[in-house]
Amino acid sequence: MKVLKTLFSFAFKSLFYTFVTTGWYAQVRNPSVEDGLIYMENMETNIEVKKLGLLGSFAIYIPASILMFCLTKYLIPYLSNLTGQEMILFWFIVAGLGIFTPLIITALLILKSEGYKLTKQTCIERLRFREITRSDMIWCFVGLVLVGIFSMIIMKGLEFIIGKFDHSPAFMTFDPLTKGRYWLLLVWFPYWILNILGEEFLWRGVMLPRQEKAFGKPAWLIHGFGWGLFHYAFGWQLLITLIPLIFIQSFIVQKTRNSWIGVIMHGGLNGPSFIAICFGLI
């Protein structure tokens, strides 16, 4: 338990204070179009969106990954054994409050360190939650189709090679809902909101624009690799089937420069697939 406590403490503190390592790059300058620098309007001050390189990026990805690993490997099974309740219940509770809420807090701290307040203008200009255009929706639709096709190819390919297997980790495995268990949907819904909000706010809204400054067009590759690292606790069976979503969504959000596309793709695949499993449709 002492080792577990140390791991929890390290992951929480590292994630919580990450904004220090990333916030130092923000500084105020006069607007300029030279060398293609990107500026965002924050109140009456022009704030340059600075680079977020490998060190700054993985100062966020690694603690977040450790946090998820510790909570799913130790705390969730412990709570399940202690109460006799199925692990999926504690995945919803622990992940919502202990993983995705800290992501939201981290995103807010980074924004604050950059000099931003959470306003409509910040959401549109800095976080790129912009009006969705027809072109955005076409990219989104094509992305969802490609994710579905490539994920299915990967799953079927693995089944052909190693036979049938359960691609879900133990803490996510559950039987279709039956009478007396539908209340789990009430627990799942706020978890789902925190999941999509936490990841899209931090990964696509806060980090990706700064990674684009550091890496240029290949930023989506670095971003996708880090996002995949965050899901390390899911195990290789599920993680490998998530590869299409991880990289295709990262590419399309960078291409459209619209974080709402990430929300639609991530939430649109995550939510309906869970509902389908709940009612035994897949």
Q: 150 is written with which tokens?
A: 């490539």
Start-to-end CA distance of the chain, whole Å, equals 38
Q: Which residue has the tokens 């089944």?
A: 159
The DSSP annotation for 145-202 comes to HHHHHHHHHHHHHHHHHH-S---S-GGG--PPP-TT-TTHHHHHHHHHHHHHHHHIII
- Quick one: pLDDT at residue 282? 67
As a whole number of angstroms, the distance between CA 108 and CA 178 comes to 39
Reference 88, options 164, 178, 166, 191; nearest CA is 191
- Quick one: pLDDT at residue 243? 96
Tens digit of pLDDT per residue, the chain (282 long)?
A: 444 444 445 444 444 444 444 443 333 333 333 333 444 444 434 677 889 999 999 999 999 999 999 999 999 999 999 999 999 999 999 999 999 999 999 999 999 999 999 999 999 999 999 999 999 999 999 999 999 999 999 999 988 888 887 778 888 888 888 888 889 999 999 999 999 999 999 999 999 999 999 999 999 999 999 999 999 999 998 999 999 999 999 999 999 999 999 999 999 998 988 888 888 776
Reference 72, options 163, 168, 141, 211; nearest CA is 168
As a whole number of angstroms, the distance between CA 106 and CA 126 comes to 16
Q: 263 is written with which tokens?
A: 């929300």
Strand partners, 48: 39
Q: Are 256 and 135 in contact (CB under 8 A)?
A: yes
Residue 34 amino acid letter = E
Q: Are 266 and 165 in contact (CB under 8 A)?
A: no
- Quick one: pLDDT at residue 202? 97
Q: 262 is written with which tokens?
A: 């990430």
Q: Are 99 and 44 in contact (CB under 8 A)?
A: no
As a whole number of angstroms, the distance between CA 153 and CA 168 comes to 17
Listed in order, strand segments (DSSP E) in the chain are 39-42, 45-48
Listed in order, strand segments (DSSP E) in 83-124 are none
CA distances from 95 to 98, 101, 120, 144, 162 (A): 5, 8, 28, 25, 31
- Quick one: pLDDT at residue 278? 86
As a whole number of angstroms, the distance between CA 14 and CA 201 comes to 19
CA distances from 141 to 126, 180, 252, 265 (A): 25, 37, 10, 8
- Quick one: pLDDT at residue 168? 83
